[in-house]
């Protein structure tokens, strides 16, 4: 067993990778929000010409209808639903009462030091009998989720600002 690490460290690294992946998803979604606002942080909107529904409008009159883009488009809010990781590893000896070498902390750390506890070493680079060395299978499932309360309130407020802002007769 050449590349042994503690099982706890391996699990923490995998959990950290999942947390980082979710963080990247959220950062990407937040960066897309700026696409719906101009350089002065005003909502971008589309102006649509429609036949006027005003009771005093003539037959040829049109309404200019302004609608902010954000409430008009679907916002893809994704989150990691679950992760399944399988791999083969050689199991090393159970070591009693020591802090694994990779869990030793910075000497300047003021917090509580890691407790001495039994730990298990594994070699994740070793495959099983019928597997290639280091063979890992990862399944990551994402799901759509509801927008946050703040995003919902923003979209509702923007939706309330849409509407007719001018009625005119084309050619006048």
Residue pLDDT tens, the chain, 172 long? 456 777 888 888 888 888 999 999 889 888 888 899 999 999 999 999 999 988 888 889 999 999 999 999 877 788 899 988 887 777 777 777 665 555 556 667 777 666 666 766 777 666 555 555 556 677 888 888 888 899 899 999 999 999 998 888 888 7
pTM: 0.61
Q: Comparing C-alpha atoms, which of 92, 142, 134, 114 is closest to residue 12?
A: 114
Q: Comparing C-alpha atoms, which of 17, 26, 128 is closest to residue 83?
A: 17
pLDDT confidence of residue 157: 94
In angstroms, the Cα distances linking 56 to 53, 59, 63, 167, 168 are 9, 10, 12, 10, 11
pLDDT confidence of residue 137: 74
Q: Which residues contact 111 (CB under 8 A, 6 or more apart)?
A: 105
pLDDT confidence of residue 127: 56
Q: Name residue 140's beta-bridge partners.
A: 83
pLDDT confidence of residue 45: 95
pLDDT confidence of residue 78: 86
d(CA 129, CA 59): 81
pLDDT confidence of residue 1: 42
């Amino acid at each position: 067993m050449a590349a042994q690490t503690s099982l706890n460290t391996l699990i923490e690294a995998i959990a950290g990778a999942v947390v980082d992946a979710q963080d990247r998803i959220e950062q990407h979604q937040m960066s897309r929000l700026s696409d719906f606002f101009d350089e002065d942080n005003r909502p971008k909107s589309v102006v649509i010409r429609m036949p006027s529904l005003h009771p005093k409008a003539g037959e040829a009159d049109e309404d200019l209808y302004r609608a902010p883009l954000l409430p008009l488009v679907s916002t893809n809010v994704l989150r990691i639903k679950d992760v399944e990781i399988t791999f083969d590893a050689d199991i090393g000896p159970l070591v009693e009462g020591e802090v694994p070498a990779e869990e030793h902390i910075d000497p300047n750390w003021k917090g509580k030091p890691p407790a001495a506890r039994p730990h298990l070493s594994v070699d994740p680079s070793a495959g099983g009998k019928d597997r290639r060395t280091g063979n890992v299978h990862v399944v990551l499932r994402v799901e759509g989720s509801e927008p946050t309360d703040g995003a919902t309130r923003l979209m509702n407020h923007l939706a309330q600002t849409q509407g007719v802002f001018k009625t005119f007769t084309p050619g006048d």
